[in-house]
Amino acid sequence: MAQAYALIHEADGAFGISFPDFPGCVAGGDSVEDVLIRGRATLAFHVAGMVEDGAPMPLLRSHAGLRADPDFVADAEGATLVLIPVDLPTRAVRVNVSIDETLLDQIDRAAQARGETRSGFLAAAARARVAG
């Protein structure tokens, strides 16, 4: 599992978290613990959206790489730097599976109704099942 750096800011008792390598991925919370939980969930949702949109994944920078970026240095002023675990996708692999014909038809109809591909639908279902 990869780890992405995040910045936690606090202002007037409210906390925010942002991810320098994932622009636009932000979350808020009422405590550091709350913002860490929300931040992790938001990052996972953001990555899933990037995958669905076919967007390329950013290269996660090292601490030294971030410190060399003047924008990061400015954004990090007064913030706490933390690492958040994130599952980044790897390359897609074609597989051959056997499945009941009726179930496959139901999967295809459900995927189409959601505007998803069969592969995307099955991957999302598998992720949900694996997660518990």
Shared domain check, 95 and 84: no
- Helix and strand totals (H; E) in the chain: 5, 4
Q: Give the pair of three-digit tokens for residue 122.
A: 């099955």
* pLDDT of 26: 98
82: domain CATH number is: 3.30.160.250
Q: Measuring CA to CA, how many Å separate 28 from each of 7, 13, 107?
A: 12, 11, 36
Give the mean model confidence (pLDDT) for residues 58-71: 95
Shared domain check, 11 and 73: yes
Shared domain check, 80 and 95: no
- For residues 91 and 10, which has the higher predicted lDDT (pLDDT)? 10
Query: Does the pTM exceed 0.85?
Result: no
- 39 pLDDT more than 90: yes
- For residues 94 and 104, which has the higher predicted lDDT (pLDDT)? 104
- For residues 86 and 91, which has the higher predicted lDDT (pLDDT)? 86
Percent residues over pLDDT 70 in the chain? 99
Shared domain check, 113 and 74: no
Domain total of the chain:
2
- 7 pLDDT more than 80: yes
Give the mean model confidence (pLDDT) for residues 42-62: 91
Q: Measuring CA to CA, how many Å separate 132 from each of 61, 76, 118, 126, 129?
A: 31, 35, 22, 10, 5
